[in-house]
């Protein structure tokens, strides 16, 4: 193996190498790539890992599979693409062992809306509710885009969230919400809930690698 790659200097076989040396050459190259990638990324895996995607149609609520949140990841990203049959507010409840936690004291949140014209507070700070409000759909049949960031839902500590929703309402409305679940509960899933009417779309969960 008299040749090396230009960027990382990995040794690679040449056309004049003996066939019998092929297995050794491939092993050497593979080990070099593995070592370089681990050094560059700082881990065996990096970035986000898709955990699951769930499709739903004309439902009032949809849940991620039980066990979506685990000790493997600390933080999660949830991406929802959906349309609504009529006006509603998307809401979120945390779940454990297949059951929503709907306690009316631990969900705290606040939010506002930004349009091309102005910004408006739409969710005054809630000091205790049975769910988190995430945004709004004031009319039906919009293709809305909702991103939810969750911090430590599986750990036995407070769970925090940030959510951003882009809606076609007035062509350029954006809703931003954030809050905390103020109890040290370990959750393994969540439910997306329509405050009224039905929603159709997909919801995907990703885990952030450390």
Residue 187 has pLDDT above 80, yes or no: yes
Residue 208 has pLDDT above 60, yes or no: yes
Q: What pLDDT shows up at residue 39? A: 65
Residue 21 has pLDDT above 70, yes or no: no
Residue predicted with more confidence, 9 or 21: 9
User: Could you tell me if 171 and 107 are in contact, meaning their C-beta atoms sit under 8 angstroms apart?
Assistant: no
Overall average pLDDT of the 44-62 stretch: 88
Distance CA(37)–CA(29), nearest Å, equals 12
pLDDT confidence band for 192 (50 / 70 / 90): very high
Structure tokens at 139: 């009319």
Indicate the SS3 state at residue 181. strand
First-to-last alpha carbon distance for the chain, in angstroms, is 36
State the pTM of this model: 0.76
Domains (ranges, CATH) in the chain? 3-41 (no CATH), 48-208 (2.60.120)
Q: What pLDDT shows up at residue 30? A: 76
Structure tokens at 6: 């230009």
pLDDT in tens, 23-52: 777 777 777 777 776 666 555 566 789 999
pLDDT in tens, 85-125: 777 889 999 999 999 999 878 999 988 888 766 666 565 56
């Amino acid at each position: 193996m008299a040749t090396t790659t230009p960027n990382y200097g990995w040794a690679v076989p040449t056309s004049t190498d003996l066939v019998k040396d092929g297995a050794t050459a491939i092993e050497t190259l593979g080990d070099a790539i593995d070592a370089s990638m681990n050094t560059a990324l700082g881990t065996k895996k990096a970035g986000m890992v898709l955990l699951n995607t769930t499709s739903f149609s004309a439902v009032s609520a949809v849940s991620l599979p039980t066990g979506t949140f685990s000790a493997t990841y600390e933080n999660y990203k949830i991406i929802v693409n959906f349309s609504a049959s009529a006006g509603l507010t998307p809401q979120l409840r945390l779940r454990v062992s297949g059951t929503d936690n709907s306690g009316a004291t631990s969900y705290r949140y606040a939010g506002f809306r930004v349009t091309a014209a102005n910004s408006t507070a739409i969710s005054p700070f809630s000091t205790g509710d049975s769910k988190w409000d995430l945004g709004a759909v004031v009319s039906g049949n919009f293709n809305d885009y909702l991103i939810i960031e969750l911090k430590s839902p599986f750990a036995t500590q407070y769970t925090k969230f940030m959510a951003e929703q882009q809606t076609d309402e007035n062509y350029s409305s954006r809703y931003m919400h954030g809050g905390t679940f103020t109890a040290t509960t370990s959750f393994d899933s969540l439910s997306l809930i329509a405050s009224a009417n039905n929603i159709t779309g997909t919801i995907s969960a990703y885990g952030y690698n450390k």
